[in-house]
Every structure is written in structure tokens, then in C-alpha cells.
Amino acid sequence: MAAPWDGPVADEVADRRVRSSEVVFHGKVWDVRRDEVDLGDGQTVVRDVLQHPGAVGVLALDDDERVLLVRQYRHPTGRMLWEAPAGLLDVEGERPLAAAQRELVEEAGYRAQRWHVLVDYYNSPGGTTEAFRCYLARGLEAVAEDERHEGEGEERDMPAAWVPLDEAVDLVLAGALHNPTTVSGVLAAAAARSRGWSGLRPADAPWPERFPEG
């Protein structure tokens, strides 16, 4: 049985010494490293870690409180998933808000006037360094036709759907939507709306999990 905790409930940096680390796989997008970690209680464990550049997503909400989702093939799952626009932080020097704004234009063909941080999370903290930030974008306007982006690979010919936020919540809870950005973004947006959109962080809020230097 776990011992009771009497401190604050908030994630924090842990001081665990890495005794050794080596890259055991070099991939096209990310690498895998093998760490030997001293847990500080007499135990040492070996863990394989997928090194990930981090990513951002956009829960875009129109004036009728409809969520913009795009349909994309995801090969590891063998499924077509409905997703909020999202992308890797793989452009040198690009800040996360700029990346999210770029992805909204490229994947959906929209710009937004109002941006807030909606939710931050680690996508799979047991196996990867991927830190993810999902923004809430409102005040949407379509970009001009000549500004449209021609996607490649799985990003070609992605259909889009506008789903009322309440319906999107029902779809998430029914198990019809599985993309983590969609699931967390939809539920976080519904929770934020129930509070009158108060408490949302500004779009440039610190993100120490991905940018510890600020």
C-alpha cells in the first residue's frame, strides 16, 4: 500500500543519477538511448528511452463552439484517426507558439486571432521524452487559396470536419476518438468552457518540460 502524501500535488524535477547512457538506435526522426539509472534507494535499473523533439497541437474552436478535426492515416495503429492539427518541434529555433500557428495553417488552412495554452502533458512518460503542448485557438479565419499548403505522405488529402464541442466530448467518452491531442484537447476545452474560459494560461506561458532554459 502506498504511503500517504502530505505535500503539494504537482510534477517536479527528480534528482536521479544516470550512471551510463548510449544511443542504441538511430532513426529517421528520433533515436533510442539506453540509460542505467540510479533510483537513489539502492536500486539501479536500465531503461530504453525514445528521444523526441517535442510537439505542439491546436484545439481550434470556431464562434459556434465547433472543434476542427482532420482525418489522417497513422501507420503504427493501422487506423485513420481524427486529430487536432499538430506537428513536431523540429524546426531549428522555432518557438512552440509559432510552430502551432504554422501547423494550423499547413494542416487546416486557418489562422487564429486568440491563442491560449490549453494543456501540457508527456505523451508516454514511461518510454519517451516527448513533451506536448496543446493550444486553444479562437477567432478563426481561413487563409487565402494561394497560401494553402500541399502536404506530403500521410498529410496529403486530409479531410476536415467541424464537430460541436459537446458532441466531441461524447465521442471521446464513447471511445470513438483515440488521438491523444484530440482526447486531451477536447476534454480540457470542455472543462475550460465550464469555467467561463477563466484560468487559461497565456500563449507564451513558460514550458520548462520542453524549454527549461526559458
Residues labelled as active-site residues: 155
* Under 8 Å between Cβ of 158 and 107: yes
Assign 3-class secondary structure to the chain: CCCCCCCCCCCCCCCCEEEEEEEEEECCCCEEEEEEEECCCCCEEEEEEEECCCEEEEEEECCCCEEEEEEEEECCCCEEEEECCEEECCCCCCCHHHHHHHHHHHHHCEEEEEEEEEEEEECCCCCECCEEEEEEEEEEEECCHHHCCCCCHHHCCCCEEEEEHHHHHHHHHCCCCCCHHHHHHHHHHHHHHHCCCCCCEECCCCCCCCCCCC
Closest CA to 148 of 207, 106, 114, 92: 106
* Under 8 Å between Cβ of 103 and 86: yes
